[in-house]
Amino acid sequence: MTRMKSLWIASPRTVLLAFGALLVVAAVAVGSGANFNSTSANPSDVFTAGTISQSNSKASAAILSTANMVPGGTGTGTVTIKNTGSASGTFTLTHTVPVDTPASPGLSKYLTETIVDNGDPACVSSCPAAVTLYTGTIYAQPATIALGAFAASAQHQYTFTTTFPNGTPAVDNTYQGASTTVEEDWSSTS
């Protein structure tokens, strides 16, 4: 201890430099020691958007055309709508405003229409019962009919039945030679 004291008195600067050098050497020795390390990575997370599309078994064609209807007559047509996309979609049926010739009294206001969802036409066992979506005149059909959610690849067959009511001859005769046209439009959204 006296030796340290005499060194300190003789040259405090030398003692401080020596002490600092010792601290540097100790830090290097501790810092260069072996450590355990581990790393992992999750590269290339992938995100893709689904698709919504549909097929229509009667695309660009009439579902139902009935010529020369008479009172009491009925016409029936079917169409199958399928979700051909990869994502589930909510489907709806809309229609254009009927075009009546002549405009008055308007055959679309007299003919009755029933729209039925028959479910999946490929179903062979434990199939759900058919559901009537609309019954009334062609003219009064709601602007939009909700059809529900279709999973990817799901399909539904719809039956349209149009009837010329068998009323009194005085009423029925006013519709002789009349016609009406309407377009049915199928939409889907995710």
CB 159 within 8 A of CB 116: yes
Of 131, 128, 118, 183, residue with least CA distance to 157: 118
Of 48, 49, 55, 64, residue with least CA distance to 150: 55
Give the list of residues 6+ apart from residue 106 with CB closer than 8 angstroms, or none: 98, 100, 139, 180
Q: Can you read off the two tokens belonging to residue 90?
A: 């909510």
**143-162 per-position pLDDT tens digit:** 999 999 999 999 999 999 99
pLDDT at 13: 73
Average pLDDT for 84-107: 96
> N- to C-terminal Cα distance for the chain?
86
Q: Can you read off the two tokens belonging to residue 22?
A: 């010792």
**73-85 per-position pLDDT tens digit:** 999 999 999 999 9
Claim: this prediction has a pTM higher than 0.85: no
* 31 confidence band (pLDDT: 50, 70, 90): low
Q: Can you read off the two tokens belonging to residue 97?
A: 């405003």
What does residue 21 show for φ and ψ, rounded to 5 degrees?
-60, -40
Q: Tell me the residue ranges of DSSP E strands in 57-166.
A: 74-83, 89-95, 99-101, 112-117, 131-137, 144-150, 155-163
Asked if pLDDT for residue 8 goes beyond 70, the answer is no
DSSP secondary structure letter of residue 109: G
CB 63 within 8 A of CB 78: yes
* 12 confidence band (pLDDT: 50, 70, 90): low
Locus of tokens 């430099």: 17
* 71 confidence band (pLDDT: 50, 70, 90): very high
